[in-house]
């Protein structure tokens, strides 16, 4: 098994690369890398990368290309579950303190 890391534009040494503007842009970028580097990928995503990994896996299957051997995701809400509490960023100060 070989391991390939993903560096999103604007991060980790790619600060000058053009930023991707949509989630579809991220998936399209990942698809190119997955197709070039492997025939049966194990795709791992963490946090925001979990959503990118999930969408990339779905797209690979829909296109009939290199379906992942495994999809491993962590630190993200499963897409089939409803959102829980509202984000703390939307709370006023007193509500924020109470939530803590």
Q: What is the pLDDT of residues 32-70, one digit of tens each?
A: 878 877 777 788 899 988 999 999 999 988 988 877 888
Please tell me the predicted confidence (pLDDT) of residue 94.
Answer: 92
What's the chain's Rg over C-alpha atoms?
Answer: 17
In a domain, 98, yes or no: no
β-pair partners for 73 = 45
Domain that holds residue 63: 1-78
In a domain, 64, yes or no: yes
In a domain, 15, yes or no: yes
In a domain, 86, yes or no: no
Q: What is the pLDDT of residues 3-42, one digit of tens each?
A: 777 777 788 788 888 888 888 888 888 888 788 777 777 8
Instruction: Look at the block and give the residue holding tokens 């959503």.
Output: 51
Give the predicted TM-score (pTM) of the model: 0.74
User: Could you give the number of structural domains in the chain?
Assistant: 1
Local structure of residue 73 (DSSP, 8 states)? E
């Amino acid at each position: 098994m070989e391991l390939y890391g993903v560096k999103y534009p604007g991060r980790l040494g790619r600060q000058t690369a053009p930023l991707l503007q949509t989630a579809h842009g991220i998936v399209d970028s990942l698809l190119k890398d997955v197709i070039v580097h492997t025939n049966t990928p194990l795709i791992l995503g963490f946090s925001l990368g979990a959503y990118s990994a999930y969408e990339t896996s779905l797209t690979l299957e829909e296109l009939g290309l290199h379906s992942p051997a495994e999809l491993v995701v962590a630190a993200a809400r499963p897409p089939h579950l409803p959102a829980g509490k509202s984000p703390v960023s939307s709370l006023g100060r007193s509500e924020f303190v109470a939530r803590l």
